[in-house]
Amino acid sequence: THKFYIFVFSSYIMRKGVVLLGLAFLVSIFLILTIQLAIVSAASYRGEYFQSKSFNNDKKFIGTPKLVRTDADIFFDWWMGSPHTSIKADKFAVRWTKSEVYVAGRYQFQVIVNDGVNLSVDNNPIINQWSDRTAAATFTTQIDLAAGTHAIRMEYYENTGSATAILIINLTKLY
């Protein structure tokens, strides 16, 4: 009779183990799908590409973009090339915009550019480095954002030589 009880008990444990294992599997599948959906639903940038330095002295873009496209990220190192066959390798400008939901926290904004860049959050300038460069330069700032939707705008121009435009946004402190 002891063998029967041991069998029933071990069978019960095995069934519970299978249920727990199955539950863990379902939770992991749910997490993977949630992460993938979060990545897919992340807002993309609207990229407006201008041939020539298409802005006035107030650093406001003028004219009509030569190319408008959706860019998943701003992470470009065109080297001596151009962003598209319709854009020449030198003397072009780009305005990237997007609105995205952020959790409340402190964010680090880092740009790596060659040549000039202006970066704004909710129409407030946070990086203003609008000048020619002979090599890529890195500029970093941190700002606090309240929970909610925020508008990001990065304006960039390439005069001559190498062309780099990278924007990295990291949450550094959660509130």
Could you say which residues of the chain have pLDDT below 50? 1-10, 12-13, 18-41
CA 49/CA 110 separation, integer angstroms:
21
Task: Name residues whose C-beta falls within 8 Å of residue 154's C-beta, 6 or more positions apart in sequence.
Answer: 45, 74, 95, 96, 111, 117, 118, 119, 120, 165, 167
pLDDT of residue 99: 98
In this predicted structure, what is the pLDDT of residue 54?
A: 58
pLDDT at 146: 97
> What is the model's pTM?
0.74
